[in-house]
Structure 1
Amino acid sequence: MDFQPIERPEQAFQQPVTADHLQRISRRVFGRDALSAVELGLGMYNNTYKVTVAGQDRPVIMRFAPEPARQFSSEGEFMRNEYASLPYLSVIAPLMPRVIAADWTHELIGRDYMVQTLLDGVPAPELLSHYPRPLWRGYYRQLGEIARAVHDVRGPRFGPVGAPAHDTWGQAVTGSLTQIAADLELAGLDASDVRKAAAVAADRQAVLDEITEPRLLTGDLWTVNILLAAEAPEPTITGVLDFDRTWWGDPAADWTIRMALRKQDERTAFWEAYGEPEGSPEARWRAKIYEIRHLGADRLEWHRMGNAEEVGKSYDAVAAALAEAG
């Protein structure tokens, strides 16, 4: 088999699988040999390979979660969470890869993995900048339509789609902040600011509990997880990927909303399709708590990547959000 892995340092978080692993999985899922495998490098969490299998018309995608011991507790078996969310994501099914097989047994490799169909398209980070910036507004409108469709899906309880579930939104938010703080401390980082945010959220839980209807959150949907048509005259979304951080909760807490609000540029077209965000004092306060949760998760990610500068910046950003949240 022609095997092309990405060379990484031994201490890197993303650890490759072997050609033998891919071959055994190919035989289990398809009953045939894999002819080639190329590791794809856009993601920072799972390891992803484009695999050509004998007798298959198109290559397939094989994605491998990190070994369980390498995952933070706040990450909650992300791949299993994504798999659990698929029945709720049917509203955007034409844009998503199909799952051919999912295996949590760890019989062939000590990691969860999924085999999925390969979507057509070019990663948006590679292609979007080739278009004139005025055309980007159409791209952001499409993104707003996708986010709106997902956020309109109603769920049973609050928290990650897979587990754990909470009766109230306030419980889900404070629980997540507490879990992120514990992970930061286990990583040897100061988490007192995130713990303070959890205490503030608990003290004003009634404001969080104004959110009474769990809605589906994408968790991580932005440009890095989007595919575009290769030769379209304007940016055209053909696929969306990696819904492993899905949640039930307040749409305003979604990563997509955070990113749409960050700049007043072409992305303002997002709101033309999505609808204007709520601007009440209570919504603005909740947004500060959500921002701290994002920053805490980012801090873990930067630490894992060895980026001490960004880890340091996160403390200033959390302090600013805490000052406004009271």
Structure 2
Amino acid sequence: MDLRPISRDVHAFQQPVTGEDIQHIARRAFGKAARLASAVELGGGMYNTTYRINLDGAQESFILRVAPAPEIQFASEHELMRNEYASVPYFAALGDLVPRVLFADWSREIAGRDWMVQSHLPGVPAPERLGAYSRDLWPGFFAQLGQIAGRVHSVRGPHFGPVAGAGYPTWSAAVIASITEIADDVSRLGLDAADLRKVADIAAEHGKVLDEVSEPRLLTGDLWTVNTMLDAHSPKPLITGILDLDRTLFGDPDADWTIRMATAKHDERAAFWDTYGPRRLSPAAAWRGLVYEARHLGSIRLERHRLNNPDGVRDTYQSVAAVLAQLA
């Protein structure tokens, strides 16, 4: 087998699995006679360890994603791969834009980690392809993202909170629990989480404003440019797939990462709203947006710590302080 891992520091969060484990995975997923021709680790993602695998005698490639070891996962990111698996039926309306799950194994008998095998989506990662187009074509890309996000946000859910699990009966309960989990993770790292706990307290004090959101809708959790694939040969940006939908939840569409990114700058991404629909912010919605921003910043703090970016971690404290000044 041609095994091509990415060279990583022994202390890096993402860690490879052995060639023997990958062969074992292939036999479990495709049958005892399956033999791997190659396994190439893919970069780009920052959480799961991902391989493009090929079987002897097969033309089609597959994607193997291996979750981090359970003991190194943050509580606020607990079993994200299982959450993605539970989300699959809710993404049915997106058809072949999302990969098919061909096999999933939560037994942890191989490498002590969850893993799944998915279909290989056509195209090239958008970060590698979008820059090849002139910027006057970029609005078309963001218009497609707006249409996709709108379709996702139209899906109704049975509860608030992560797709997997029992969830919460109210949006305020889900938001407060999420911020508290993030704060607990920050504290376990030895970092100051007082600012995030203050946000959780304010959210609890004004829970009725959060609970104006009474219908849970599906949120992608992480969809933006880095999670999209583009056609390799199209004369203009054409989205062929979306990836890594493991942070899905049910709640207020305004709380989605996609909406945060769409509003972050006034540039070509303004075309997002042409297909998604106009955004009309009431004072209550604007206030909720501040709470959501604090939650996003808490997650960013954790990710920057995981990536050994202390300056980035420090920056989040200033950003949360700015949010708190507006919430107070």
TM-score grouping bracket, smaller chain normalisation: over 0.9
Map of 2:252 onto structure 1: 250
How far off its partner does 1:107 sit?
A: 1.4
Residue correspondence of structure 1 range 1-326 to structure 2 within 5 A: 1-31=1-31, 32-326=34-328
Measure, in 1, the Cα distance between the counterparts of 2:113 and 2:279. Answer: 39
Offset of residue 29 of structure 1: 1.3
Matched residue of 2:65: which SS? strand
C-alpha distance after superposition, 1:179-234 (max 9, x if no partner) = 10000000111000000000000000000000000000000000001000001010
User: Given residue 238 of structure 1, which amino acid in structure 2 is its aligned partner?
Assistant: T
Would you say the 8 A contact 2:159–2:166 is kept in 1? no
Whole-Å separation in 1 of the counterparts to 2:186 and 2:246? 21
SS in 2 for 1:190: coil
CA distance in structure 1 between the partners assigned to 2:77 and 2:254 by the alignment = 20
Q: Measure how far apart 1:164 and its partner are.
A: 4.7
- Return the letter of the residue paired with 2:63: I
Runs ≥4 residues deviating over 4 A: none
Q: Check conservation: 2:83, 2:162, Cα contact below 8 A.
A: yes
Give 3-state SS (helix, strand or coil) of 1:36's partner: strand
Which letter maps to 1:5? P
**Partner of 1:199: helix, strand, or coil?**
helix
Q: Distance in 1 between matches of 2:110 and 2:252?
A: 39
- Per-residue deviation at 1:93? 2.1
Amino acid paired to 2:293: E
CA displacement at 1:28 relative to structure 2: 1.4
Give the alignment's Cα RMSD to 1 decimal: 0.7
Return the alpha-carbon distance in structure 1 between the equivalents of residues 220 and 57 of structure 2: 35
SS in 2 for 1:89: helix
The TM-score normalised by the length of structure 2 is 0.98
Instruction: State the distance in 1 between where 2:177 and 2:109 align.
Output: 33
Q: How many residues align?
A: 326
CA contact (8 A) 2:186 2:302 kept: yes
- Provide the rounded CA distance (Å) in 2 between the counterparts of 1:57 and 1:29: 17
Distance in 2 of aligned mates of 1:43 and 1:234: 25
Q: CA deviation at 1:58?
A: 0.8
Moved more, 51-60 or 306-315: 51-60
Q: What CA distance in whole angstroms lies between the structure 2 residues aligned with 1:57 and 1:41?
A: 22
TM-score of the superposed pair, with normalisation by structure 1:
0.99
2:10 aligned partner, one-letter code: E
Deviation for aligned residue 1:274:
0.3
C-alpha separation between the residues in 2 aligned to 1:30 and 1:202?
49
The separation in 2 between residues aligned to 1:200 and 1:93, in whole angstroms, is: 40
Deviation at 1:10, TM superposition (A): 0.6
Q: Distance in 2 between matches of 1:161 and 1:61?
A: 23
**Deviation at 1:34?**
0.5
Distance 1:294 1:315 in 2: 12
Q: Which runs of 5+ in 1 are unaligned?
A: none
Name the CA distance, whole Å, in 2 between partners of 1:138 and 1:300.
Answer: 33
Tell me the SS of whatever aligns to 2:240. strand
Residue identity matched to 1:138: G
TM-superposed deviation, 1:55: 2.9
In structure 2, C-alpha distance between the alignment counterparts of 1:43 and 1:224, rounded to whole Å? 8
Q: Where does structure 2 lack aligned partners over 5 or more consecutive residues?
A: none
* Identity across the alignment (%): 56
